Amino acid sequence: MQRGLYKQHTFRTDLLPIPTPTPVHKMTILPLLLYTSITAFILYLLFNLRTRRSNRLPPGPTPWPIVGNLPHLGTIPHHSLAALAAKYGPLMHLRLGFVDVVVAASASVAAQFLKAHDANFASRPPNSGAKHIAYNYQDLVFAPYGPRWRMLRKICSVHLFSAKALDDFRHIRQEEVAILTRALAGAGKSTVKLGQLLNVCTTNALARVMLGRRVFGDGSGGGDPKADEFKDMVVELMVLAGEFNIGDFIPGLDWLDLQGITKKMKKLHAQFDSFLNVILEEHKSGKGGGSGHGDLLSTLIGLKEDADGEGGKLSDVEIKALLLNLFVAGTDTSSSTVEWAIAELIRHPQLLKQAQEEMDNIVGRERLVTESDLGQLTFLQAIVKETFRLHPSTPLSLPRIASESCEIDGYYIPKGSTLLVNVWAIARDPKMWTNPLEFRPSRFLPGGEKPNVDVKGNDFEVIPFGAGRRICVGISLGLRMVQLLVATLVQTFDWELANGVHPEKLDMNEAYGLTLQRAEPLLVHPTPRLAPQVYESG
């Protein structure tokens, strides 16, 4: 009805007379146009200047069309990003595909992100590794910040990494390290691939706490094919996780899998899932040889039925995702750090001798060093700190994402930006360290340049475990295991490189990956320096 009335009263504008425009003199309209144009221009400038000032992005290299700065990352990203930081400054902005990325490459900038704005950067950005390997974000490392993440972290903190838990399981670590020394002492003239044996030791030590049993043979690692396969799987995971997958940054290309990364991830996930399924089913049935109580897996299975309420119950998938995190993050990182430490000591025989003298004075030569001795081994602790500085296990931090826009050092950081902290570059910053490329443990001793600096996330000059809410949950275990292994290998053996390689010629190049692996494995001839009964009694 209303529509009909409207049509009835519609005016026919075509029947109205067309008015004749009144002539206006040019001299009256030109000043008005000029005034209006100048005013609009000034307002435009003021608005843009204010917007640019408030939304000024950090400096960085000019991005390429579509792919952005992905080509700038090179073959070893933490090296390439360190070189770019030397040119553009310690806070950089990159455009990786369609994603804003900010990179922190100095201690002060890292502290801004991980301390002052830690809550804003507590979650992870979407990525193919978490989706295809880590059970679609159901693990601890990549879980979104929130109740479920807090529950998983609390479980690990209480049952695996608390001071009480570490002390309760101290004997397990010492037993596994003693098994390692026997294997090395029995090597004779054979060439030893040190990293492989270290990985077996750390994996079995962690497995006995997590599962109540070893996962590799008798712990000696003597050609155990399962141990070799597991080591290869972990290294491949770290390499794939360290890849910058084009599909993560240009979503429209994700389905093409141009680099073949997704296919490799899915295949690797199937291998890990099979490995973890066997462990889980054997543990449930009691066929795995575990204790059935007191280990972490028994606790996790119990939580399936009796969760503490925060975040809900644990599913089998969540249990496997957590075990995957612990096996990967708790084994290869420690073994590779120890491998770097021994390589550095072989290259600096005077430092090895000094460490052995400290060991003989504090511990003696009649027994193996124990965890209770570590607090008195000042020089040994300095060696470990210097190894973490020069060879951080995770040179480029796991990414975080900005939940909201913020300002860092006067620069605008957009919401949704990915944060990368170049831990490797920070620890080699010449503004913070004297002769930063030299291996000098004395810098952490009384009278040195950084005597009070620790590696626990409080001092941002060296943060191998990260910092803030997302700091590595296993930092306490990692420190103990690395210190005990380095101390034992220093105390019990003299070291010589295989194939007659001179120490100064030792290849110290890094391989590509999420963790800092050696490009070439450390091949050595260990020579026992203690009485034979010490190795047997350990």
8 A C-beta contact, residue 99 and residue 84: no
CATH topology of domain 70-537: Cytochrome p450 (1.10.630)
Say how far apart CA 199 and CA 192 lie, in whole Å.
Answer: 13
pLDDT of residue 330: 86
d(CA 406, CA 55): 10
DSSP assignment of 177-220: HHHHHHHHHTTTTS-EEHHHHHHHHHHHHHHHHHTSS-SSTTSS
What is the three-class DSSP state of 419? strand
User: Which residues are part of a known binding site for heme?
Assistant: 472
Contacts of residue 463, Cβ cutoff 8 Å, sequence gap at least 6: 110, 114, 392, 421, 423, 426, 455, 457
> Domain segments of the chain: what residues?
70-537
The burial of 181, by beta-carbon neighbours within 10 Å (0-12 exposed, 13-18 middle, 19 or more buried), is given as: buried
Please give the distance of CA 173 from its chain centroid, rounded to a whole number: 24
3-class SS letters over 348-391: CHHHHHHHHHHHHHHCCCCCCCCHHHHHHCHHHHHHHHHHHHHC
Which residue ranges make up the annotated binding site?
Answer: 472
Q: What is the mean pLDDT of each run of 10 residues along the chain (538 residues)?
A: 40 45 49 52 46 75 96 94 97 97 98 98 95 95 94 91 94 96 93 95 93 78 71 88 92 94 96 92 74 74 60 80 91 94 98 98 97 98 98 96 97 98 98 97 96 96 96 95 98 96 96 89 96 87
Rounded CA gap, 499 and 520, in Å?
Answer: 14
- Select from 99, 98, 103, 97 the least CA-distant residue to 60: 103
Greatest distance between any 2 Cα atoms in the chain? 119
Vertex 105, ends 115 and 512: CA angle to 5°? 115
